[in-house]
Amino acid sequence: MIQYISSLTKYEYWLLEVFTSSVNFGKLESFTFRGSDFVVGEKALAKCQKVLESIKDTAVVVRFVVKNRSSLRKISFGGVGFKMMEHYQGAILEPELVKVTHITDFRINLSTFGIDLVLMNQRQIQSLTFTGYVTDFEDSYTNLVRKCIDSNRTTLSSLGIFPCIVSDGNRPFYGSLTPFLFNCGIFESCHNLRSLFLNITTAQKMFTKRFSCGKVTNIHLLPKNLSTIEIYNHDFDPADLEKFGQNFYRYRSLHRLVLSSITANKFPTASAFTSHLCIL
């Protein structure tokens, strides 16, 4: 595990290079290579980015994973200072990354370049977390999430999706922002899913206050075997709440339910909900 209190630097990449070239771990199962997810101050962030640009070979991350692929099962990448490869290296490294399979636990920044090359070969993921900062929750990201969920629908038991969309100065922020639609129908066939955390947020800058901006739809299609549901939303469709309330009795394994929105919502069938329900 390499997890730095602030940002990953050239020294952590150098250490990983030593591990890759000179150390045989044999049965390494878990690999964490992350900077902090929280940095205060633009100067500190600018310094981190400058250091990252000075790193000569970030692809050492890929080489380490490929080298230990036979035993590696859990991976956590991301945070400040993390980069998996340069853009020009994608085609070069793809033949190596397709060898990385059998990952069961994956946490990754959604905007990490090349992550699709790893995810497209996974069929046994049990715990999956998408986080990090993006400039837009565009189709390429939603398609990546959808494809990965579908490919691992028989094994997936825990899922967290909470990227933060950062304004680039040209797009509207919060007040005039159109909520991003997220259809819960993609979870319908995940019959082993036990825990779901969903919160697409937006912020003016990295590491500043976030606001929920995702509009989550079709919550009544969530798998009935869930034990934990946490959805933080821009707002809920009243018709979705009605259908969810009507089917609430089917969630017999549910221990925790949080439905939170930044706008007021009315629950027409509130009487259908039990004491499990937490409305924020």
- Residue range 123-280 forms a domain whose CATH class is alpha beta
Report the pLDDT averaged over residues 32-52. 68
Predicted TM-score of the model (pTM): 0.85
Convert the pLDDT of each residue in 130-168 to its tens digit: 998 887 766 678 888 899 999 999 999 999 998 888 865
Alpha helices (H) in 85-138, listed in sequence order: 90-97, 115-119
- Two tokens, residue 102: 């059998």
Say if strands 211-212 and 214-217 run parallel, antiparallel, or are unpaired. Answer: unpaired
Placement of tokens 């059998």 in the chain: 102
Convert the pLDDT of each residue in 88-109 to its tens digit: 787 888 888 888 989 999 999 8
203 vs 222: CA distance, rounded Å = 28
The confidence band for 280, taking pLDDT boundaries of 50, 70 and 90, is very low
Convert the pLDDT of each residue in 43-68 to its tens digit: 666 666 666 666 667 789 999 999 99
Alpha-carbon torsion 191, 104, 70, 89, what sign? positive
For residue 49, what pLDDT is reported?
A: 64
Among left, alpha and beta (phi > 0; psi -120 to 50; other), residue 13 is alpha
Report the pLDDT averaged over residues 218-235. 93
The DSSP secondary-structure symbol of 177 reads P
- Reply yes or no on whether the pLDDT at 271 is more than 60: no
Placement of tokens 């129908």 in the chain: 185
- Reply yes or no on whether the pLDDT at 82 is more than 50: yes
Q: Which residues contact 139 (CB under 8 A, 6 or more apart)?
A: none
Kindly report the CA angle at 121 between 118 and 124, in degrees rounded to 5? 105
- Reply yes or no on whether the pLDDT at 171 is more than 80: no
- Reply yes or no on whether the pLDDT at 10 is more than 60: yes
Backbone angles phi, psi at 185, to 5 degrees: -60, -20
Pick the more confident residue, 254 or 136.
254
- Reply yes or no on whether the pLDDT at 75 is more than 60: yes
Name the residue among 70, 56, 66, 58 with its Cα closest to residue 28: 70
Q: Spell out the domain ranges in the chain.
A: 1-90, 123-280
